[in-house]
Amino acid sequence: MKGRRRIKRIRLILGTALLTLATALAVNVIPSAAVDPPPPIASEPLTARSVFPDEVDMKLKLKEPGGGTAVIHVGDPSRTVDVRYTVQPGAHFPWHSHYGPVIVNIVSGSLTYVSAGLCTGTTYSAGESFVDAGHGHVHSAYNPGSEPTVFIATFFEAPATGPLLIPADPGC
């Protein structure tokens, strides 16, 4: 008789434990060990690398920080691609350049752009845009905030295949 009571008590304890575990899993109290953290910098092409069928000519006039302007002639603006980047807090792009100019539109968060020539950073926030001259202009960028930064980059003179960022020696 005592043995049967003991078995019933063990079954009741095990049943309660299993029910508690199932409830915790159902309401997601126990975190999943299978969730990987996001990569520091993720890129997602929004368009294929495209070519304008019409003739296109492009020049960009950029104001320089110390005064004056720089005119950037885009050799072949017809080769473009749009990419969405998500940059986690504290993540840094390595020093690099681009084949041609890049127009950057900040969607959320902030991005600090560091020019190798000046070794100073300018921070851009959601709703702001800037132009990187490309053509060997070496720079880096990082997310100074506590939330992910999302931006859309439109690359001009994009190569038909291969990387859009050209690794470069740091300038600072």
Q: Each residue's pLDDT tens digit in the chain (172 positions)?
A: 555 555 555 454 444 444 444 444 444 544 555 678 889 999 999 999 888 888 888 888 888 767 888 888 887 777 899 999 999 999 999 999 999 999 999 999 999 999 987 888 999 999 999 999 999 899 999 999 999 999 999 999 999 899 999 999 886 7
Q: Can you list the alpha helix ranges (DSSP code H) found in the chain? A: 2-26
Contact residues for 22 (Cβ-Cβ < 8 A; gap 6+) = none
CB 108 within 8 A of CB 141: no
Letter for the amino acid at 129? S
pLDDT value, residue 54:
82
Cβ neighbours of residue 120 under 8 Å, at least 6 residues apart? Answer: 114
User: Look-up: residue for tokens 């840094």?
Assistant: 92
Predicted local distance difference test score (pLDDT) of residue 69? 87
The answer to whether 124 and 106 have CB atoms below 8 angstroms apart is yes
- CA dist 122 and 21 (Å) reads 51
User: Are 113 and 139 spatial neighbours (Cβ–Cβ below 8 Å)?
Assistant: yes
Looking at residue 31, what is its pLDDT? 52
Write down the pLDDT at residue 55. 82
